[in-house]
Structure 1
Amino acid sequence: MMRSGRLGVGVIGAGRVGPVVAAALGAAGHALTGITAGSDPDRTEAILPGVPVLDAAEVARRSELVVLAVPGSEIPALVEGLAAVGAWQPGQLVLHTHAAFGTDVLRPAAEKGAIPLAVHPAITFTGTSIDLRQLNGGYAAVTAPAPVLPIAQALAVELGCEPVVITEGDRAAYGEAIATATEFSREIVRQSTALLAGVGVESPGMFLSALVRSSVDHALSAAFDAPWSDPGPTSPGDSIQG
């Protein structure tokens, strides 16, 4: 099952992810029907000028594709609440962007006839137009029932990403991989910059920039060439002395 042509796209969630996803889909030719209010309306307006700000139920009622870009802990209650007020429509596309969930979390919408999709762009969002450049050439994990998987893949492509299919059963492991990569990286940088600041290094983030980037590039190259082999030195100083 594939759809063609322009969709009316509404977004629930105006944090760092929702407005960027909306802007990318708008640039791909879809019409933006509305977005819910967020904590930074100026930032949302900057990336989505003129897009109506509506409540969640109205976004769902007006849209052929509803993007849920909210924290994972909020998705179940949101989907169930919109089902309770009759906001979901038969044939409507409902897509969430959370890494750790597949489409089962969208079951209340699917029971009303909506088509559930999970598309997670694998980037760290800033909530600015910089993200649109990051999306181009990136990857997105897609999960959907087999008959509508091509729709999820097509939407990932329209975001600028190469779609990678993750099964429903593997989605939790995928989410753990994404969380490990992002949170571990952030924590290591926080710890390292704090230590450097403690010994009097000015601008520790700048000091570490080339080292961290080159170390990550090396690790990614090793994983790409031989993903299950020994990635190299394990002693803390080995990689910076050779």
Structure 2
Amino acid sequence: MNSSDGRSGRLGVGIIGAGHVGPVLGAALAGAGHALVGISAVSDRSLERAEAMLPGVPVLSVEQIIERSELVILAVPTAELKQLVEGLATLKVWQPGQLVLHTAAAYGTGVLAPAMAAGVIPLAVHPAIVFTGTTLDLARLAESYCIVTAPAPVLPIAQALAVEMGAEPVVVAEADREAFARTIGAVTAAATDAVSDAVASLAKMGIEHPGSVLGSALHSAVDIALRRSKAE
């Protein structure tokens, strides 16, 4: 990746969090030529996911990842992000000039303030898809958008990383991140519940391939709704 601060095209990337998001973003960046230095994983399920998505990438402690990485990706639940950043600042492990990227939709870069005080470069990049934690997400990333927020001098870095993950970057202001998260969260939650209920109802009717039947109707309905919104 060529950036305005002269960084080389190949970054050493460390991933904190082996949930549905972190391993997928790691695989996407590895596919773009970056080197994965390690991933943190605690539970058996997260260890299995890390091995499946990132075979051969070492499982390291959070402190080891920060020590060895030029780019640190914080792919942890939103509720845990602030405490994690503050705790690591207290331990004095952040490194000046290090890129630190979090994936939480509701936060801009303000949540990284304790790390910024140690000299890190803050980036907020949220892929606007629902992750499964599998290779299916890599294809979905290629058809998706990343919501990016960063200080103006380093915004091109955040945008470039989104592109390298396969997505199209969309800049959202710091003050709008929370509202964005509420809007997208409400829509995806409602859609997930409605689709699950509808598929179950069709299955009870004895309809074959209820998911495919419903999917066909949904695709056309969403397409019409989006076309109408563009026309207004």
Fold shared, TM-score > 0.5 on shorter chain: yes
Q: Are the counterparts in 2 of residues 117 and 144 from structure 1 also a CA contact under 8 Å?
A: yes
Identity of paired residues, percent?
59
Map residues 105-144 of structure 1 onto 2, 5 A cutoff.
105-144=111-150
What is the deviation of 1:119? 0.5
Structure 2 residue aligned with 1:8? 12
Q: Are the counterparts in 2 of residues 99 and 178 from structure 1 also a CA contact under 8 Å?
A: no
**What amino acid does structure 1 have at the position aligned with 2:144?**
G
Q: Are the counterparts in 1 of residues 39 and 50 from structure 2 also a CA contact under 8 Å?
A: no
Alpha-carbon spacing, 1:197–1:97, altered in 2? closer, same or farther (3 Å): same
Map residues 17-56 of structure 1 onto 2, 5 A cutoff.
17-39=21-43, 40=45, 41-56=47-62
Q: How many residues align structurally?
A: 226
1:37 & 1:98 partners in 2: Cα distance?
Answer: 18
Unmatched tracts of structure 2, length 5 or more: none
Q: Are the counterparts in 2 of residues 15 and 38 from structure 1 also a CA contact under 8 Å?
A: no
Structure 2 residue aligned with 1:60? 66
Q: Are the counterparts in 2 of residues 142 and 153 from structure 1 also a CA contact under 8 Å?
A: yes
Structure 2 residue aligned with 1:188? 194
Alpha-carbon spacing, 1:179–1:64, altered in 2? closer, same or farther (3 Å): same
**What amino acid does structure 1 have at the position aligned with 2:145?**
Y
TM-score w.r.t. the length of structure 1 is: 0.87
Deviations 1:27-68 (A, max 9, x none): 111110100115422232121011010111211111110001
Matched, 1:169 2:175: yes
**What amino acid does structure 2 have at the position aligned with 1:169?**
A
Unmatched tracts of structure 1, length 5 or more: 230-242
2:68 & 2:135 partners in 1: Cα distance?
Answer: 26
1:4 & 1:154 partners in 2: Cα distance?
Answer: 13
Q: Are the counterparts in 1 of residues 37 and 57 from structure 2 also a CA contact under 8 Å?
A: yes
2:215 & 2:150 partners in 1: Cα distance?
Answer: 38
What is the deviation of 1:199? 4.9
Structure 1 residue aligned with 2:80? 74
What is the deviation of 1:175? 1.0
Superposition RMSD on alpha carbons, in Å?
Answer: 1.7
| DSSP-derived class of the 2:100 partner | strand
**What amino acid does structure 2 have at the position aligned with 1:152?**
A
Match of 1:86 among 63, 85, 92: 92
Q: Are the counterparts in 2 of residues 92 and 113 from structure 1 also a CA contact under 8 Å?
A: yes
TM-score w.r.t. the length of structure 2 is: 0.91
| DSSP-derived class of the 2:65 partner | helix
The structure with the larger Rg is 1
2:228 & 2:212 partners in 1: Cα distance?
Answer: 25
